[in-house]
Amino acid sequence: MSKHHQLIVIGGGTAGIMVASQILKSNPNINIGLIEPADTHYYQPAWTLVGANTYDFDKTARSMSSIIPDGVNWIKESADKFDPENNKLTTSNGNEYTYDYLVVCPGLRMAPELVEGLTEAMEKGVVCSNYTDPKHTWETLKNFKGGTALFSMPTTPIKCGGAPQKIMYLADEHFEKAEIRNKTDIVFAIPGGVIFAVKPVAKTLMKVIDKKDINIRFFHKLVKVDADKKIAWYELAKDLDAGGCVVMSDDDSKTLDKEIQYNYKDVKVAKDGDRFGIYFDMMHLAPPQASPKFVANSPLATPEGWLFVDDKTMQHKKYNNVFGLGDVAQLPTAKTGAAIRKQAPVVVANILKMMENNTITNKTYDGYSSCPLVTGYGKMVLAEFDYSKEFKPDPKLKQFPLMINDSSQEHWRLWILKKYLLPYLYWNKMMKGINV
């Protein structure tokens, strides 16, 4: 026997809670079922700070029951199969639920298995990740005694594209304090050719990189982590033959051309066929990330496995009564809570309008996202942009007395925003369905 809800929301993260709260605020009579197996809801943006010992991990957690709005029916199960033709879904317990409208926002999953050896390495001593265990990151930084500190990111989409470098800037300052910076080389190996896609922000970050004397290695695609030998293996992902400019011999890594190196440091390297290894004494990385399997294998997904929604209306491209937002959606912008803050009201307005007369509103999402880029203890840059990848500060944030004229520059007030104001707004406004 299947149970019926007017609206089913999949996911009790930022997106799911915001949508459910905002809809109930507009119409408390709508019957909402929220599918979420987890007991705990985390404020993940603070995990960067936890990893650098400047935020308490326990303060990032609240019980799911305290976050799900009163009046929402919590279905404490995992979604498993979709049958959108019949407005039906099945959970992994085998229970069937039918709906009039469906919102899919389960977030994404960590997929360390996409890099050889990473699943095993993630559990070992000096390989750490704020994405999975920020407390372990802090232990790793604390125990580091010098050598090569390697920071890396994958080729997949990830939550908050800036996070892999924020912890690096904080680590640099921690190493200074611990008086080991002078015997440390910091290397940032990334798959792309720029440090950040938004130009004014990239300009500021390159100044930070200069000041902190960090070696960036561009076009490095992480393919394997050997935790025992402490080597991270990369393929050079740029079309290196095209210009014929990169030559790599076994003994001479200095022939890495300038285009793929910045602030060259002579760290210990290895060569294996066309793979290039970097020896590390500690490594922090964002693991590869992917869409949850139950979405990727469903009729709702794109060929890449992400949720197939219109990037302006958030409505599914094939099924009109299905909407999606947050990290699972295939949208050409950064996967952040700030993006969800702008997506949720569009989804809510469109669902309410659909319930009224089966059409959607003219409200659209412009791709706004923001990445608070922590550049040191007490310093931050706020990268705000939309689908155009141009720098686009949100006028709403300008209302706060804290804000400054140019958030693409480092400022202590932006740190205050990150550490104190944003968590407050998150728990007390966003989670309660209040538009901020």
How many folded domains does the chain comprise?
A: 2
Domain of 228 in residue numbering reads as 112-285
Q: What is the pLDDT of residue 126?
A: 97
> Is 371 one of the annotated active-site residues of the chain?
yes
Residue 428 lies inside a defined structural domain of this protein: no
The confidence score (pLDDT) of residue 397 equals 73
Same domain, 99 and 132: no
The answer to whether 80 and 92 are in contact (CB under 8 A) is yes
Residue 28 is classified by DSSP as: T
Do strands 96-104 and 127-128 pair parallel, antiparallel, or not at all (unpaired)?
unpaired
147 contacts 187 by C-beta, under 8 angstroms: no
- Token code pair at residue 138: 């802090």
> Residue 12 belongs to a domain with what CATH number?
3.50.50.60
- Residues lower than pLDDT 50 in the chain: 240-255
The single residue of 105, 128, 160, 245 carrying the catalytic annotation is 160
Residues 122 and 253 in one domain: yes
Residue 104 located in a structural domain? yes
Q: What pLDDT shows up at residue 237?
A: 77
Mark which of 318, 346, 364 sits at the end of a domain. 364
Give pLDDT, residue 255: 45
How far is Cα 426 from Cα 216, in angstroms, rounded to an integer? Answer: 34
Q: What is the pLDDT of residue 239?
A: 52
Q: What is the DSSP string of 341-391?
A: HHHHHHHHHHHHHHHHHS---S------EEEEEEEETTEEEEEEE-TT--B
Whether residue 255 is contained in a domain is answered as yes
For 436, the 3-state DSSP assignment is coil
> Which pLDDT score, from 0 to 100, does residue 245 have?
34
pLDDT at 401: 61
Burial of 281 (0-12, 13-18, 19+ CB in 10 A): middle
pLDDT 10s digits, 25-41: 999 999 999 999 999 99
pTM for this model (two decimals):
0.94
* pLDDT score recorded for residue 251: 38
Q: Is 105 a catalytic residue?
A: no
Q: Residue 386: its pLDDT value, please?
A: 95
pLDDT tens-place string over residues 312-347? 999 999 999 999 999 999 999 999 999 999 999 999
